[in-house]
Chain A
């Protein structure tokens, strides 16, 4: 009854092509953004339930936003362009370490030319974006094999990127500015004179970036480029025959995806962890991102958010519930149960809805349209 398109007329092409052509969707999104941008910070400022402590903000919302961003990046490559990647973690790491290098100043002595490349320390914001750009560049490089290798073979080939960069950031001391332990610290988060310190500020910063980039991604996938990607995904030979250049389409997908993942990586390191080592971007992270994308729904920006929420929050819930209910189980048993339940949930979801939450949402919308008279 509430969710009805009847009476919403589109009189211009622009209205017809809007991201959210249905008024109710626009209202829902506005409410959601309102809660995220105004409601949450307000509640958190006055420490009103459930923001009594920083926990929800620090340990759930912040990682959720950043990983959702990374999931959007992964989704562009895997969901929209159909190139399976197990190297997303590495691209996060590239974003993080490049941003770190740029923010602390780059100095490459080229002894044999008696010449050195020196870049003075850049502001944090520029470093984060440039970190993303560097990740995009490396993404293009590692995207080249995708022109020849397909499917699961490609998935394993992308692991080459994963393990290579794991190693590089661990073993090449230049990347960590010769830190003795190989662990590096984030710089002060100074955005145009504004110092981001408290959890609320960090949250707002990430929220702003994530919203902007999600919007960017949504518009990209609706446009020419996105359609090329999807054509390649659905059948690359056919796409080639109708005049889509696979080289261009695949490499742009790698570039855009790596850029977003790289920015997410820089945020993960600078804003969330504050101090990190390559293990923060290991193969587990890549698998986690792939999970988010598949559970959330391949080829859906919205799905990336839902998937990120599911993968991140369910294990924490599973861990919290027994403690809250007072079940007398040892931590060990709870941890094992967590594994079992989480694994079963994933299998269950895949069996019930192989297309993920995005599909569930769209089915739900269809039902809602007809409700309460579904004839």
Chain B
């Protein structure tokens, strides 16, 4: 019974932390879907959004604003920062690079990563800034069934809730709104979309803005978890296997990928790790992704790649 309880605990913990990775992975998917850009800068964008939010919050609270006003204003400020960033990236990097191949675009986003990291830390500081928007303690459920109960972290539950709302929101946005439909049209074939009068520049701005806002959401959760600091940019590397398993173009795939990676790596670490030295979760996620790709080269939910000569 204890063993079962422990297993459930690891499984639940893994699934939950997987969802937190999905929050970061969603931003990747949005941009890749609409512009074919593999955006390495997503991690840096989470850092930028988090720093903008937490610095604005600290300043407002220090100046005597009530907490809820400060939160609303802080989020508005961070959103404005993300909008500016999206505009700058579209205007100066992605726009001029239209029609280049994927690798060049990918490299340019690494360049963007450097710029964002440097600028964010220069403007907002490079210290660690605590952010406390969500509770971070834990529930112990089913204590009468399993001795010690099963530990469920409140922050993880919040993260999962937010991810759910986000996915639902994005689905509605893509399926029901005019901009969303235009986005899908651009994703399918940007030349055709252009010729029927969809303003591509504007659409790409919207996509980068959406990715920026997703980054902001991810920053609220991860900032509460870790404190807002440079290390948040490393999340990009944890989000990549999630993305690949789910498929680069699928929003539900990002969530499914997160669940698979989270559960897989935590179970591997706790049950397999001690016998082979520990610390295996980093590569385990990637090996899992590799295994999935060998069966389905486009990820679980990705669009099939059709090649013609």
Contact = CB atoms under 8 A, between A and B. Distances in A.
Q: State yes or no: do A and B come from one complex.
A: yes
Interface of A: 78, 84, 145, 148-153, 155-157, 159-160, 162-164, 166-167, 170-172, 235, 237-238, 241, 283, 287, 290-291, 294, 298, 332-333, 335-340, 342-347, 350-351, 354
A164 B299 contact: no
B133 interface: no
Contacts of A298: 103
B103 A84 contact: yes
A350 B114 CA distance: 14
Given A163-B282, A283-B237, A354-B104, A156 B244 contact: yes
B118 A337 contact: yes
A351 B96 contact: yes
A241 B119 contact: no
B294 A148 contact: yes
B119 A336 contact: yes
B126 to A, nearest CB: 7
Contacts of B305: 150
Given A336-B121, A343-B115, A347-B115, 19 more contacts: A145-B293, A149-B293, A149-B294, A150-B305, A151-B102, A153-B297, A156-B240, A157-B286, A160-B286, A171-B277, A238-B309, A283-B237, A336-B118, A336-B126, A340-B115, A340-B119, A345-B111, A350-B100, A350-B111
A343 B118 contact: yes
Given A164-B286, A164-B287, A339 B117 contact: yes
A343 B38 CA distance: 17
B240 A340 contact: no
Given A145-B293, A148-B294, A235 B309 contact: yes
A237 B306 CA distance: 11
Contacts of B307: 237
Nearest to B106: A152
B244 to A, nearest CB: 5
6 contacts: A149-B297, A159-B241, A166-B283, A167-B282, A235-B309, A354-B104
Contacts of A159: 237, 240-241, 286
Contacts of B23: none
A340 B92 CA distance: 14
Nearest to B118: A339
B1 interface: no
Given A160-B289, A354-B97, A153 B277 contact: no
Given A333-B122, A354-B97, A347 B287 contact: no
A274 B114 CA distance: 29
Given A151-B102, A153-B293, A347-B108, A171 B278 contact: yes
A294 B104 contact: yes
Nearest to B97: A351
Contacts of B108: 346-347, 350-351
Contacts of A238: 309
A339 B114 contact: yes
Contacts of A241: 309
B42 to A, nearest CB: 14
Interface in B114-137: 114-119, 121-122, 126
Contact of B107 (A290, A332, A342): A290
A167 to B, nearest CB: 5
Interface in B244-302: 244, 248, 276-280, 282-283, 286-287, 289-290, 293-294, 297-299
A79 to B, nearest CB: 10
Contacts of A291: 107, 110
Contacts, number: 138
A264 B42 CA distance: 32
B293 A157 contact: yes
A153 B112 contact: no
Nearest to A170: B279
Given A336-B121, A344-B111, A350 B104 contact: yes
B89 to A, nearest CB: 9
B31 to A, nearest CB: 12
B86 to A, nearest CB: 15
B81 interface: no
A294 B294 CA distance: 27
Contacts of B244: 153, 156-157
A344 B115 contact: yes
B103 to A, nearest CB: 6
Contacts of B297: 148-150, 153
Given A160-B289, A172-B277, A346 B111 contact: yes
B17 interface: no
B152 interface: no
A171 B102 contact: no
Nearest to A238: B309
B113 interface: yes
B107 A346 contact: yes
B220 to A, nearest CB: 25
B93 interface: yes
A340 B122 CA distance: 10
Interface string B134-163: 000000000000000000000000000000
B289 A157 contact: yes
A347 B113 CA distance: 10
Contacts of B53: none
A347 B118 contact: no
Contacts of B309: 235, 237-238, 241
Given A163-B286, A164-B287, A343 B107 contact: no
B147 to A, nearest CB: 33
B38 A153 contact: no
Nearest to B248: A152
A152 B283 contact: no
B243 interface: yes
A339 B115 contact: yes
Which one of A164, A287, A290, A345 has the greatest number of beta carbons of chain B within 10 Å? A164
